[in-house]
């Protein structure tokens, strides 16, 4: 099992914000949501260390499948508190919410190096500037050889036992690799990404937006779908078959997650909605799978000159439990959408309404698309 910890307890003080840094918006999503999106494709469990007083707000944002703990006074303490909620993991990734644009591909390369035998893996970039060591009075004392220096990033990956042992010392460090190295373990360095910059100031945010592209070319949409359970129906959800669950009624296979994503993409592109494109007036779509509808939606919006920047869907219902198959569902939907970045969250409604009373299942999706030149 792969677990991931997102350190998100930092304040927005240096940013000049009145809210925690992890809740600052970058495009259509918060820094925290961007970070979750990158890690959810490789992690079976995600734990977020939240600023004190913001736990409920972050739980509402990320859904029930993600564990939220109150962070500590330091980064190391926040990671330790999150680490205490993880049991029996093989590997643990530790990521800073402020590095919101670190990609899924970077996380996957960290995991691949761990599976190849390394106990600690960190991404980093070469130092291109000359670096000086100065004394307390501001005078240069030495000039290190920059060819041996690296600018370290996250996500950093570790075997569970090594990371847990390193944090048992209760020491503090600016990153987890320093604690692991101090415990005598070798730390593998792999190539990082320029886009995985740490967003600390408004200038950093502007740089991050440049990596995302011109904000004027983006448009967004929201889609919602809900279906009641129906006896004798198989459950298809998020592109996957759930053999031990009761299915839902519907013209097609009733995949609420796929349908909500389709509607969000149609809303963002102005190309109608699920009903006008695949509704009951189109008999050829009777019983169609959610994946088929996603593929055809992708073809329609691509032909209209749009590309997908990101889609996110939150599944609402008491069952099934999404967490164990989240990475599989993300990969399935992403493939149907031409490799687009996908995030899947899940929550319940505490016994209220159609989903809370166990009568059905629902989903809400958002999509960010780019109009191609």
Q: What is d(CA 310, CA 293) in angstroms, rounded to the nearest whole number? A: 17
- List Cβ neighbours of 24 (8 Å cut-off, separation of 6 or more): 12, 15, 17, 30, 31, 199, 205
Residues in the chain: 373
DSSP state of 78: H
Positive/negative CA dihedral, 350, 352, 358, 363: negative
**Which two tokens mark 41?**
């494709």
Return phi, psi of residue 301, to 5°.
-75, -30
Q: Is 252 annotated as a binding residue?
A: yes
Q: Is 259 annotated as a binding residue?
A: yes
- DSSP H or E stretch at residue 217: none
Q: Is 274 annotated as a binding residue?
A: yes
Positive/negative CA dihedral, 137, 138, 144, 149: positive
Return phi, psi of residue 45, to 5°.
-140, 135
Q: Is 347 annotated as a binding residue?
A: yes
Q: Is 349 annotated as a binding residue?
A: yes
- DSSP lists the bridge partners of residue 126 as 150
Residues that constitute the known binding site: 225-227, 251-252, 259, 273-275, 347-350
Give the annotated binding-site residues for a divalent metal cation: 225, 227, 259
């Amino acid at each position: 099992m792969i677990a991931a910890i997102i350190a998100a307890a930092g304040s927005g003080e240096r940013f000049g914000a009145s809210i925690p840094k992890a809740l600052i918006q970058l495009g259509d999503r918060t820094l925290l949501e961007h970070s979750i999106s990158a890690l959810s494709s490789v992690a079976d469990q995600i734990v977020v260390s939240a600023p004190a007083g913001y736990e409920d707000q972050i739980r509402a944002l990320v859904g029930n499948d993600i564990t939220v703990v109150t962070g500590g006074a330091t980064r190391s303490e926040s990671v330790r508190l999150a680490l205490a909620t993880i049991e029996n993991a093989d590997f643990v990734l530790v990521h800073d919410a402020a590095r919101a644009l670190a990609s899924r591909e970077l996380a996957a390369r960290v995991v691949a190096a761990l599976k190849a035998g390394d106990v600690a893996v960190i991404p980093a970039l070469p130092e291109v500037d000359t670096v000086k060591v100065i004394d307390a009075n501001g005078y240069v004392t030495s000039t290190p050889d920059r060819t041996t220096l690296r600018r370290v990033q996250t996500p950093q990956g570790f075997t569970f036992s090594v990371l847990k042992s390193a944090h048992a010392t209760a020491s503090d460090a600016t990153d987890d690799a320093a604690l692991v190295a101090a415990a005598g373990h070798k730390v593998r360095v792999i190539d990082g990404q320029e886009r995985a910059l740490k967003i600390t100031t408004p200038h950093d945010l502007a740089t991050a937006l440049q990596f995302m592209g011109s904000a004027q070319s983006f448009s967004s949409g929201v889609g919602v779908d809900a279906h009641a359970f129906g006896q004798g129906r198989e459950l298809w959800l998020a592109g996957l078959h759930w053999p031990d669950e009761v299915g839902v009624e519907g013209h097609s296979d009733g995949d609420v997650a796929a349908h909500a994503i389709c509607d969000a993409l149609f809303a963002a592109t102005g190309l109608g909605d699920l009903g006008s494109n695949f509704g009951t007036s189109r008999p050829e779509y009777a019983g169609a799978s959610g994946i088929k509808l996603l593929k055809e939606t992708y073809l329609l919006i691509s032909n209209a000159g749009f590309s997908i920047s990101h889609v996110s869907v939150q599944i609402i219902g008491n069952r099934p439990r999404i967490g164990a198959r989240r990475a599989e569902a993300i990969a399935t939907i992403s493939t149907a959408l031409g490799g687009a970045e996908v995030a899947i969250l899940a929550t319940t409604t505490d016994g209220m309404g159609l989903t809370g009373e166990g009568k059905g299942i629902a989903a809400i999706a958002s999509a960010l698309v780019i109009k191609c030149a």
